[in-house]
Chains A and B, each alone.
Chain A
Amino acid sequence: MKHFKTAMMFFALLAGPSLLALGTSKDAITNESLFSEGGIIGLIILSLVVVLALIIILLSRIGKLTFDLATRETKTRQQEIDEALETLSESQVDRLISRQNYFKFRVTGDELGGTEKPSDDRGLVSKLVKNLGPRITAEKRKNTTQASIEPEHRRLILGFIVTATFWLVFGSAIGEYLGIKFVAPELDKVSWLSFGRLRPVHTNTVFWGWASLGMIGLGYHVVPRTSNTNLFSYKIGWISLISINLAVILGNICLMAGINNGGGEYREYIWPVALLFATGLALTIYNYYQTIAKRKTTEIYVSNWYIMGAGIWTLILVTIAYLPFYQDGLGETIIQGYLMHQAVGMWFMTFTLGLVYYYLPRALNKPIYSYSLGVLAFWTQMLFYTLIGTHHFLFSPVPWWLQTVAIVFSIGMFIPVTAGTANFLLTIKGSWKMISDSYVLPFLFIGVIFYFVGSSQGSLQAFRFTSVIWHFTDFNVAHSHITMYGIISIFLWGFMYYLMPTITGRNPKEVLVGMHFWLAVIGLLLYVFPLMIGGTLKGLSWLNEEPFISSVVLMVPYWIWRAIGGSFMFLSHIVFAYNVYYMMKGPTLKIDNVK
């Protein structure tokens, strides 16, 4: 009877909506107005609740039935055994009881070690953890490897890292200020702090100050290390450091004073300032080259390919970008597209990849998965990346064939990106546990993920259709932060957290490294997702030919979220700066000897 009732109700509900549809389909207008009524919508939702409940009941009934069917055989078998047990002889019962005892046996835990207390006479244990219950922050493995390094060499590397850290904090403070200006344009009325002048100060500072100095400094460790020799010249290193820092200081002062080369992104510094940077770069590349030339290994390790490639390509790039002979009219635009893209791809990306090929295997304490994949990625990086600059000017008057080439090779970028990502992930494979044990590897792992996501996103953005919606919008800003922040900066932090304790013998506070990591990653996500959503809406608003100002108004909530994400990121940099200080001036590692 109960089943019958359930079935009837189910039937009625199944048939109900179709009857309703039949009834209303005769008059389309009534139908439409009917379904837009709040009461009707409410009713439909209510009936859906009933239908849902019925479906659940039905499913549970079916489940019960199938379970009964499936266990019927087992039950019969159980019954047979029960009957058999009652007819057992005395000896058979004894054997069964002794079998039962086998399963009760447990090891006591001291069979191998004995009952004496443990001691560590050779100092192998660095820390004793007594709390084995759940913890809020994970216990990380301390870096105890000490590189044998000349004090002079250490000072040079630290010089780069410290100045880079300064520019990171300064540059992101400017960025944060600019982010706030999007929602509070009346923040100040000082010409030196106006949005148009500060914007290039932000980008150039984090480019040439933070990321470049950081990479070069790490390069000064990787190149001699992988060449198994000493650095060619410390002096050249110091001149390079001073020259690049000077370029960033002077360049920023010029920009704030309203002296701008021409407004082209990443070449806003006038040529005398850029020359200072190029000189510093050229000296460093010469220094690296001479170090590689006197290497004690036969092969040139793949990291050095990337690092030399990045340096030489960037020198060519800067020279082409600043020479005037082909830059009138639209010639300037073609060079701008070329520079804008290559500055990111040939300098930051290539150099950082070179560093990954050293630090990732080093932090995992195992060789890179495939050396040849690294070589393949290197040459395809050079071939494909070089040709895609014009994808920043799709549908512009720049020659159509250049735009098409740029799109085609943007898709081709999947090859080096996939090769690199696969190589890194396959290197990590089998050591996943190490990621949670280390405070370095989370940075490197997230960096690899962002490398794939950010680079692929770039390829997708180069399609003609996506360009229509996303070009000129805040989506680009999100993309550049996924790449320059998610890939480059996060990798650099990982490398620095690995390298600094190795050469100073001082570990950072784990809680603070964790804080840096989470603030940076969460901040980045809070920054990029609103801008991607807002950017898409902005593009659609333009496509629908709505008044321009409405695309400004619609962005306001997304700009607020960006400012919040930016604050997280900025805060993480303050923590990082403190960690850098702690890794230089903090206490050296104390070994907890187990008594």
Chain B
Amino acid sequence: MNLSFHTNHRLLVSLIFGGFGLLSLGIAVLPAYNVQENNRLLPRQSPLTAAEQRGKDVYIAEGCVGCHTQQVRTIAMDKTWGERPGIPADYATNTRPDLWRQTASILGTERTGPDLTNIGQRQPSIDWHLLHLFNPRMVVAESIMPAYPWLFEEKENPGKHDRVVKLPPEQQKHITGQLVTTRKAEDLVAYLRSLKQPDLPVGIKINFIDFPKSKDKGRELQTVEGKVGDSKAAGGDKDFDGAALIAKGEVLFQARCAACHQGNGEGLAGAFPPLKGSEIVNSEDPSKMIDIILNGYDENEAYGAMPGFAGQLSDEEIASIASYERNSWGNSAPVVEPATVKAIREMIKPPL
């Protein structure tokens, strides 16, 4: 028996095979199996609907994962993409779709475009998603995302069940008849809108870690923990700083509102109304404006529907946004106090 792998090719090949096989079992197969088996849906998490699942198939087929991640890492810089760091349970709904294709690699490795973990929460408007898919540069001028015109059809006479996409006039010119969605577009938007970080069970909290250590510890604590405290303080009858409110509102506006209403407040003709010069925005009494921000709006035929933000933004945040909008682009109206928002929220709260 020759026990030298320098001269015995059977022994050499067996060592190569066995060594790598064992290492692979230990580092990949067993941990993967373990993670898969110890993974249940969160209490308030629901599996994908049939339409959402079909939308996910489109997401994979078009290679969206090449540029968009779906993972909120535990580091503080990922706070932009979710309320909390991701946990294994968030991915419990991600399973093998059929015999031919395997479980989707949705976590991704490149962030050429934004992370989509929470896109359904961040951007609930169907109209926005449709316009954005048809041509991303209509809503985000600097975007380099590909356009997906093959998810849409041009129809002379749209039928009853067709959803017509409201295009800005200069885009409408290039279309014969009306632009309607295909089922693929509907499904993809349904999937994107379903992407929301599920709530954790009551009482459980996962914090971001402060890495790399921020130089300004105070700032860090304020942004992670301070939300509740802040709105409490501002909700009282203490004086508040109008300029600070507007400054904060600008940041929030760019993050939450500019996608539709655009950074210059001019909106998109035919799709999203302008805030610049708007009567509602400039009105002395802010209650109508706050009502729209809280509960959404779909009464103007000329534009797409706006989703409500009551569940996502605090009183103080809404007050900041409103104040910023009322004092920008030539608009001029009094600053909105957080207490006013609180009062309107209480008033329109559905009876228990």
Contacts and interface: CB of A to CB of B under 8 A. Distances in A.
B260 to A, nearest CB: 14
Given A313-B16, A330-B88, A547-B255, A260 B63 contact: yes
A549 B101 contact: no
Contacts, number: 246
- 9 tightest CB-CB pairs across the interface, nearest first? A196-B63, A264-B105, A472-B111, A331-B36, A395-B73, A331-B32, A258-B61, A263-B65, A326-B33
Contacts of B21: 316
A395 B9 contact: no
B7 A191 contact: no
Given A199-B66, A263-B106, A264-B105, A395 B33 contact: no
A553 B142 contact: yes
Interface stretch (B92-100, B264-272, B313-321, B343-351): B92-100
Contacts of A260: 60-61, 63, 101
B32 A547 contact: no
Contact of B6 (A300, A317, A399): A300
Contact of A312 (B20, B65, B114): B20
Interface in A467-496: 468, 471-474, 476-477
Contacts of A308: 12-13, 16
A197 B62 contact: yes
Interface in B11-70: 12-13, 16-17, 19-21, 23-24, 27-29, 31-33, 35-36, 39, 60-67, 69
Interface size class of A (residues with CB under 8 A): 35 or more
Contacts of A399: 31, 35
B27 A387 contact: yes
Interface stretch (A78-86, A131-139, A179-187): A179-187
B6 to A, nearest CB: 5
Contacts of A312: 13, 16-17, 20
Given A320-B24, A543-B77, A186 B147 contact: yes
A271 B27 contact: no
6 contacts: A185-B145, A199-B66, A300-B6, A309-B20, A330-B39, A545-B79
B32 A326 contact: yes
A351 to B, nearest CB: 13
Contacts of B297: none
A298 interface: yes
Contact of B35 (A298, A331, A477): A331
A559 to B, nearest CB: 8
B143 interface: yes
Nearest to A337: B28
A199 B63 contact: yes
A386 B20 contact: yes
B134 to A, nearest CB: 10
B221 interface: no
A308 B20 CA distance: 12
Q: B100, B105, B107 — which one has the most chain A CB atoms within 10 A of its CB?
A: B105
Q: B7, B29, B79, B142 — which one has the most chain A CB atoms within 10 A of its CB?
A: B29
Given A324-B103, A395-B85, 8 more contacts: A194-B148, A258-B61, A263-B64, A263-B104, A316-B17, A326-B29, A329-B88, A335-B32
A380 B323 CA distance: 63
Interface string A182-211: 110110010100111101100000000000
A548 B75 CA distance: 17
Interface in B182-232: 211-212
Interface string A261-280: 11111010011100000000
Q: B61, B95, B107, B143 — which one has the most chain A CB atoms within 10 A of its CB?
A: B107
A332 B148 CA distance: 28
B175 to A, nearest CB: 13
Contacts of A336: 105, 107
Interface in A281-322: 289, 292-293, 295, 298-300, 305, 308-309, 312-313, 316-317, 320, 322
Main secondary structure of the interface of A (DSSP, over half): helix
A435 interface: no
A397 B90 contact: yes
A305 B6 CA distance: 9
A348 interface: no
B105 A265 contact: yes
A402 interface: yes
Contacts of A313: 16, 20
A396 B71 contact: yes
Q: B16, B60, B92 — which one has the most chain A CB atoms within 10 A of its CB?
A: B16
B107 to A, nearest CB: 5
Interface string A541-564: 011010111001100000000000
A453 interface: no
B195 to A, nearest CB: 15
B110 interface: yes
B146 A195 contact: yes
B271 to A, nearest CB: 19
A321 to B, nearest CB: 9
Nearest to B208: A395
A152 interface: no
B149 interface: yes
A176 to B, nearest CB: 17
A289 B71 contact: no
B104 A262 contact: yes
A270 B88 contact: no
Contacts of A326: 29, 32-33, 36
Contacts of A328: 36, 39, 94-96, 103
A181 B16 contact: no
Given A260-B101, A332-B102, A549 B142 contact: yes
Q: B9, B39, B80, B96 — which one has the most chain A CB atoms within 10 A of its CB?
A: B9
A262 B6 CA distance: 42
A430 B35 CA distance: 54
B149 A189 contact: yes
Contact of A389 (B27, B80, B100): B27
